[in-house]
Amino acid sequence: MATLAVFTAVVSPSASAPAQAAAGSGFLDHLNGFDTRRWHKANGWSNGGVFNAGWRADHIRHSGGVMAINLDTATCPSGCSAKPYASGEYRTNAHYSYGRFEVRMKAVKRPGTVTSFFTYTGPSDGQPWDEIDVEILGRNTTQMQTNYYTDGVGGHESVIDLGFDASTGFHNYAIEWRESTIKWFVDGRLVHQEDGSRGPLPSHPQRIMVNLWPGIGVDEWLGPFTYPGRALTARYEWIRYTQY
């Protein structure tokens, strides 16, 4: 088991989409195309810290009912926020409160990488840092890591054995967030839950987000990243939110 880390903060410039109230209602997006009413693509910056890639809007593409996020070296480092790699991050414009957050995705298998589905808000939205994570670490894609942050306090990681390789096919991952509990599901099966006994649960409305990134300085957690000389691709078939 990898040593777990607490580095998943999302930093964005003031040029990103403006923060909105918790106005997000239920939806199912089959990701057939880029719906600018619901989503925006991170572009022209890096989250910094352990994220060793710059976000590029052109690294998120829709084709054949699948959204692909590519991680490669195109135009880097000059066009990649001075990072050696480029990748993509997809974010909702609105913020969403208690409900069920679901995705169908296929992860990247490569040490040093993270394929994610998560909810997030923070100082760039004028709110405390709250976050709920589903992360597939490319060093072992038969496991899923869960975590949450409340007002910037994390350290609630758990590692779940999936019983399959998340890089070889699409699977459904869900977060059920209520005031008193967070539950994580895989293919409809409850695999983990938190009730606040390890620390207060998030309470602020959050964006729904996905990204793919290589780490730096966290080899103990992610393993060392080496670029294979070709693009690495995380794939997403749909994203759904059900309001509670």
**What is the set of active-site residues?**
131, 135
- What pLDDT is attached to residue 7? 47
Q: What is the CA radius of gyration of the chain?
A: 16
Model confidence pLDDT, tens digit, residues 39-60: 999 999 999 899 999 999 999 9
Does residue 219 sit in helix, strand or coil? Answer: helix
DSSP string covering 182-208: EEEEETTEEEEEE-STTSPPP-S-BEE
- What pLDDT is attached to residue 24? 79
Q: Measured between alpha carbons, how far is 98 from 113 in angstroms, rounded to an integer? A: 29
Model confidence pLDDT, tens digit, residues 166-196: 999 999 999 999 999 999 999 999 999 999 9
Side-chain-side CA neighbours of residue 81 (13 Å): 21
pLDDT band at 11 (very low <50, low <70, confident <90, very high): low
Model confidence pLDDT, tens digit, residues 83-112: 999 999 999 999 999 999 999 999 999 999
Q: Measured between alpha carbons, how far is 69 from 13 in angstroms, rounded to an integer? A: 21
- What pLDDT is attached to residue 12? 52
Model confidence at 216: pLDDT above 90: yes
- What pLDDT is attached to residue 15? 41
